[in-house]
């Protein structure tokens, strides 16, 4: 995967946009169509205290509601830390939105004011699909894209 090429595309497409949902839809589309192991790519938005609801995504259906207290997405939202899970069967309280998912990468997404907007969730049918390089690419990109988001 060419991180620089996808970054340039996301920057160009998102330039000047501040609507969080529009940004989420664009970021998801670009990542999903370029990451070789992303079988489901989407955002879960913070909609109430301790509650995530599905946002823009690509792939099969996802879970509609995820509490902060459950699953990989909930753990990322609750702790504010990246969750890179090479084998979802080994993650306590994993929520199986799809029976084919084998690995997952979830990153918390904040705006520039420090407000948690949601989490970006990448699921793969391949075990150990996501790398430290994916994390190192996505963390600064998400911070940049969602800095002005409301």
- Which residue numbers in the chain have pLDDT < 70? none
Lookup result for tokens 């995530």: 52
Residue 117, domain extent: 3-145
Domain assignment present for residue 88? The answer is yes
pTM comes to 0.96
- Tens digits of per-residue pLDDT, 81-108? 999 999 999 998 888 788 889 999 999 9
Domain count, the chain: 1
Q: Are 101 and 137 in contact (CB under 8 A)?
A: no
150 within some domain: no
């Amino acid at each position: 995967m060419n991180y620089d090429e996808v970054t340039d595309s996301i920057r160009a497409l998102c330039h000047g946009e501040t609507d969080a949902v529009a940004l989420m839809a664009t970021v998801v589309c670009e990542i999903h169509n370029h990451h070789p192991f992303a079988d489901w790519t989407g955002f879960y938005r913070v909609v109430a205290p301790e509650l995530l609801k599905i946002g823009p995504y690509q792939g099969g259906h996802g879970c509609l509601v995820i509490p902060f207290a459950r699953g990989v997405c909930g753990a990322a939202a609750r702790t504010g830390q990246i969750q890179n899970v090479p084998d979802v069967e080994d993650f306590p309280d994993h929520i199986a939105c799809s029976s084919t998912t084998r690995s997952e990468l979830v990153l918390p997404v904040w705006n520039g004011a420090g407000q948690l907007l949601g989490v970006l969730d990448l699921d793969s049918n391949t075990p150990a699909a996501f790398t430290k390089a994916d994390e190192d690419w996505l963390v600064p990109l998400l911070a940049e894209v969602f800095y002005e988001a409301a």
